[in-house]
Amino acid sequence: MKTIDELLSEGVAGKRVFVRADLNVPLDGTTITDDGRIRAVVPTVKALADAGARVIVASHLGRPKGAPDPAFSLAPAAARLGELLGADVAFAEDTVGSSAEAVVTGLADGGVAVIENLRFNAGETSKDDAERAAFADKLAGLADVYVGDGFGAVHRKHASVFDLPKRLPHYAGYLIATEVGVLKKLTDEVKRPYVVALGGAKVSDKLAVIDQLLGRADRLLIGGGMAYTFLKAKGYEVGISLLQEDQIPAVQEYIERAGKNGVELVLPVDVLVAPEFPDLKTKAPANPTTVAADAIPADQEGLDIGPETRKLYASKLADAGTVFWNGPMGVFEHPDYAEGTKAVAQALVDAPGFTVVGGGDSAAAVRTLGFDENAFGHISTGGGASLEYLEGKTLPGLAALED
């Protein structure tokens, strides 16, 4: 795929450059609680603006129902982008309507604008090719060139990700180029031992990637809510812990295959349990109990890996040549259940090899728990996109940029 450096070498002064970014940041009302994804696109936007382009930044945020919804406005993200750039950023109150047209027309060379949430238009996410194409045609009318830099959305066959680059000269931004380079290190250029730590709530979200990793990784460390389906598959009582009963047969097959393939599948040996889920708003003390992984009381819920498991997982990461981590080890948002996730993050910091934090909640946890982002080899902006790449899927947004 062509890169932004090639575009810059061709000259962009006075050209309208549409940058498909990923500004899908978490909000508490109108307050951004983690601006990592906005910071990630700044190098691309700044390089284009400094070269005299008229930059139109577009993104989705959340899951509105194909119509305007103030709760999902990109206005806070536009304001934060302006702060990070140290420049005024115009904001269009629609996607392809009169406001967007006026804002884009009013851009001077080197100017930057953000248009409103793409998902306020049903054509962005439509499964109907014609409806999606019609929206892409309107977006194409705003620009002369397309730069894809929203890695967190490249696994979606959406108008601004898949259809729009086919209508304009297209290039990969710095973020996407970096993310693809990192993923190649996890698939084609792996340094061993290759250790993968998987957490998060649902094992069903990770089945496909586990299937692939059983032929690639040397060790798989399992934590988070998904661990309880693995423990149940081994015949353990898991109490009222998060459990996907329908996935037990698949998990049992994976446990068996790991043994045959020589992949070390490591499960928790102890867990923190409590009779109920903690209050994440008040952060009131939860007073958890530590129990062995095969001795979870029937009326208790597992909410984090225990101290012995933290030590075990740290030891399994200590000599890693390559590490990929996706998904927290517990309910890290509550201080009583953050230690497992913190221990894995620290183990990545201490590991000698190339370490990748695989986006989503893992990336948020790293920042929430106060780690220096530079201590990791790479923090991805796209958890879902990273997982699908590792599954071996073709990602529509990358395929469109490669055409």
Tell whether residue 37 is among the known ligand binding residues. Answer: yes
Q: What is 269-320 written as a DSSP string? A: SEEEEESS---TTT------EEEETT---TT-EEEEE-HHHHHHHHHHHTT-
Tell whether residue 303 is among the known ligand binding residues. Answer: no
Tell whether residue 333 is among the known ligand binding residues. Answer: yes
Residues with Cβ within 8 Å of residue 87, at least 6 apart in sequence? 49, 112
Tell whether residue 359 is among the known ligand binding residues. Answer: yes
Strands 289-292 and 264-266: unpaired
Tell whether residue 342 is among the known ligand binding residues. Answer: no
Give the CA distances from residue 238 to residues 1, 229, 243, 286, 309, in Å, rounded to whole numbers and listed in that order: 48, 8, 8, 19, 16
Please give the span between the terminal C-alpha atoms of the chain, in angstroms, as a whole number: 7
Q: What are phi and psi of 146, to 5 degrees?
A: -115, 135
CA atoms within 13 Å, Cβ hemisphere of 239 = 24
Residue count (the chain): 403
CA 237 from centre of chain: 32
Tell whether residue 99 is among the known ligand binding residues. Answer: no
Cα radius of gyration (the chain): 22
Tell whether residue 63 is among the known ligand binding residues. Answer: yes
Tell whether residue 218 is among the known ligand binding residues. Answer: no
Tell whether residue 360 is among the known ligand binding residues. Answer: yes
Tell whether residue 206 is among the known ligand binding residues. Answer: yes
Tell whether residue 66 is among the known ligand binding residues. Answer: no
Active site residues: 37, 202, 360, 384
- Residue stretches of the annotated binding site for substrate: 22-24, 37, 60-63, 119, 156
